[in-house]
Amino acid sequence: MTYETPKTYETIEVTPLTPLLGGEISGIDLTKPLSNRQVDDLHRAFADRSVIFFRDQHLDFEHHKTLARYFGGIHIAPSTAPWQAPGHPEITIIHADKDSKYVAGEDWHSDMSCDPEPPLGSILYLHTVPEPGGDTVFSSMYAAYDALSERMKAHLEGLTAVHDAVVGFGGITPEGMKLPRSSHPVIRTHPVTGKKAIYVNRGFTTHIEGIPRAESNALLSYLYDHVQRPEFQCRFHWRPHSIAFWDNRSLQHSAIWDYFPETRSGYRVQISGDRPF
Ligand SMILES: [Fe+2]
């Protein structure tokens, strides 16, 4: 597969956050229906930057779902989840304030990698944000993979790892809720760009299969440190009515909770994905 970085966009402007990842999109109103050319440009920017950002977009639930549907079906969380928006099972409420005992996503992770078919992307819209604080940090798993030695790449090729929701959500889910557990390649290939990316994360991965547990622990610990190197990262500073739309296949992210007791609040939609390969 050949993938080329887009040189220009017809309908939008894309301002890169770093040379490797992140792009702030301007020149588009996501509350209006989008043309095919606009959708095509967004697809190309998303593939190229792995995470795209929008400012000053006052989304309601329908706008939010419509944006997701330009990229695929909507991934719906189990119906017992207490954080669904009432009457809108596609919408997850993301909220932290003075009463919060934890926030979702503080550890580096790829969303729901414990699912057999994890969501390909997540669209987070925040209407209320602390100032300052509450940034989200993203790390490129393409860059992390590319920086490995050829020997390490060869060693990891073909290995699989178990991802278990108990690691991420074990303490916070309602009693009796079934928590998914899946096996995925340690190195996955992105279905759109054809690039390889590291696909183990501290938030969900328990162990690499088929090797002694001590060896798995040592390898994972090395990889978890490696994927956090600052040169692989970009950091997004939220303002009210901003959107971050990230690719779970090529990124990990971490939500920084440095703003207690302030409020950070909004909604998230996830887009269905395929089985990693
Ligand atoms: Fe997340």
Closest CA to 143 of 224, 232, 46, 223: 232
Percent above pLDDT 70 for the chain: 95
Residue type, 250: S
Q: How far is the CA of 152 from the centre of ligand 1 (A)?
A: 27
| pLDDT interval class at 82 (50, 70, 90) | confident
Write the pLDDT tens digit of every residue in 121-141.
999 999 999 999 999 999 999
- Side-chain half-sphere CA neighbours of 54 within 13 A: 24
Look up residue 198 and give its amino acid. Answer: I
Percent of the chain with pLDDT over 90: 85
CA distance 29 to 192: 25
Q: What are the structural domains of the chain?
A: 13-271 (3.60.130.10)
CA of 10 to the centre of ligand 1 (A): 31
DSSP string, 175-191: TTPPPPEEEEESEEE-T
Average pLDDT over residues 37-58: 98
Answer yes or no: 253 catalytic. Answer: yes
Which residues, in sequence order, are CB contacts of 206 under 8 Å at separation 6+? 161, 162, 163, 164, 167
Question: Who contacts 144 (Cβ-Cβ below 8 Å, separation ≥6)?
Answer: 197, 198, 226, 227, 229, 232
To the query of whether residue 111 is one of the catalytic residues in this protein, the response is yes
The pTM for the full model equals 0.95
